[in-house]
Structure 1
Amino acid sequence: MSETDEKVSKALARFDRVMTVIDEREGPVAMQARRERQRSLRRYGRATRNAVFALLISSIAVILIGLVTPIGLFGFLGAVMLAVAIAGLLFFWGSREETALPTVPKDVPNGEMVQRFDSYLYRSRRALPAPAQTVIDAITAELGTLKQTLERTDTLDPDAQDARRLMSVHLPGLIDRYANVPPAFRREVDAEGKTVDQRLVESLQASRVALGEVSERLAKRDMDAFETQGRFIESKYGQADDGAEVTKP
């Protein structure tokens, strides 16, 4: 490599680093970070509420028992320690991060599945090469529309099932298997002339297209339902309005 080419490569590398910082502060990554913070705040809020509720119930139970029979100082201290332990367990259990599961859970609503998937992509993004991060950002930018349509769709709907499998099984499996490949082997070319990084980007792009198609089909259903409702109203009430006589003063 000539000196000029080396300077150009270094300049491009610096440019990529600068653009990465800008994206993380103001671009799609910043939006992902805000959504992740909001999810964390809601999670910790629910955990705190449950812990406080457990302490309140335990305190009321101790008071009621004390009114019936004396429990003594040691009994009171034991009840306090038990209540604190229960509250701590509830807080710890409720504040755990919800991750995309290796199987499609039947009890998780579609909207929550999208949130878990968004959180998984946010945590996995930094471990991926720059071209893959770009596709990840494009996927997350479209999750808002997908969530809006999936929330109104039954979990057993075929389109919803396709999206859930892709978000909870196939795409996380792809990223996890990529992470298992040693970095030194990710640039080696396979039998089809593609590196591990290139195949990752192409698979992520295919996933983005598939999710986009599901979102489009679901949105088309809503559009068709709206059109049908509009035509029904026009056919039932439009003629009466058109044929009504205008009374002159």
Structure 2
Amino acid sequence: MSTERFDKVIARADRVMRQLDERDGAVREAARRERERVNADMMRRIGRVGVAIGVISLLTIVIGIITPIGMFGFLAAVGVAIGIAALLAFMPSGKSNATAPTADLPNGQMVQRFDSYIYRQRPALPAPARAELDAISRILPSLKQTLERIDDLNPDAQDARRLMSMHLPGLIDRYVNVPPAYRNQRDGEDVSVDERLVEGLHAGRGALEEISEKLARSDVAALETQGRFIKSRYGQERIDS
């Protein structure tokens, strides 16, 4: 009986900590972005279903004008429409599951998929690792805004893409595959599996921050150069005239 009470206390504490955790700004913003992605995917599905039903209805009308289809033909058309609608509505889109972004995605879509990936993997990680994911999540909106404007082959973009599609997801997936009973074991450097995960996430976060800052500095420098040119070319002449 005491064991049952202990389990209930632990479960209650876990719920409370999870609720407090989700009040954090980074987690709240990540949840909002994930809801927006899910809603956008739902609207695309609804649009595809509407188009499919419209096409089938139009074909049924055209065929009915050419040759009578009768009640059975009408019911067959309705059945086909329902079947296609169900197929389009429930077909996996590949965007709502907790899979890492693929390497062939454009920059902006890759950031969005990575954002969704770390948000969905977050509950499976220990608290220190979740803190690192939250710090990464804070970087992603500005990084997405910058990466969307540059070519996928840009060296800085390539570094960011490798981190988001290969290195960080590979680290997280390998951690998830380790049985919980082995995660406290220490390796030859006296580092546990949990600590190794946090170290890797921290290094990845630092790299993404550096890339984001470097790209932002390039934009600031370009703005400064353009502003100085306009001022030197037109500013004084306008004042003298």
TM-score range (shorter-chain normalised) is 0.7 to 0.9
Instruction: Kindly indicate whether the alpha-carbon contact (under 8 Å) linking 2:95 and 2:113 is maintained by their aligned counterparts in 1.
Output: no
Tell me the residue number matched to 2:49: 51
What does 1:148-227 correspond to in 2, within 5 Å?
Answer: 148-227=145-224
Aligned length: 229
Distance 1:102 1:229 in 2: 36
Structure 1 residues 181-230: Cα deviation after superposition (integer angstroms, max 9, x where no partner) = 11111111111111111110010000001111111121122112111211
Q: 1:66/1:205 Cα in 2 relative to 1: closer, same or farther (>3 Å)?
A: same
What does 1:17-32 correspond to in 2, within 5 Å?
Answer: 18=16, 20-32=18-30
Amino acid of the structure 1 residue aligned with 2:213: E
Distance 2:32 2:221 in 1: 34
What does 1:120-135 correspond to in 2, within 5 Å?
Answer: 120-135=117-132
Q: From the CA coordinates, give the structure whose radius of gyration is larger.
A: 1
Distance 1:183 1:64 in 2: 62
Gaps of 5+ in 2: 1-11
Tell me the residue number matched to 2:8: none
Tell me the residue number matched to 1:68: 66
TM-score with structure 2 setting the length: 0.88
Aligned-residue offset at 1:33: 1.6
Distance 1:227 1:77 in 2: 68
Structure 1 residues 1-35: Cα deviation after superposition (integer angstroms, max 9, x where no partner) = xxxxxxxxxxxxx9997554312135322222221
Instruction: Kindly indicate whether the alpha-carbon contact (under 8 Å) linking 2:52 and 2:85 is maintained by their aligned counterparts in 1.
Output: yes
Aligned-residue offset at 1:151: 1.1
Instruction: Kindly indicate whether the alpha-carbon contact (under 8 Å) linking 1:44 and 1:95 is maintained by their aligned counterparts in 2.
Output: no
Q: Name the stretch that deviates more: 164-173 or 200-209.
A: 164-173
Q: 1:65/1:16 Cα in 2 relative to 1: closer, same or farther (>3 Å)?
A: closer
- CA root-mean-square deviation: 2.1
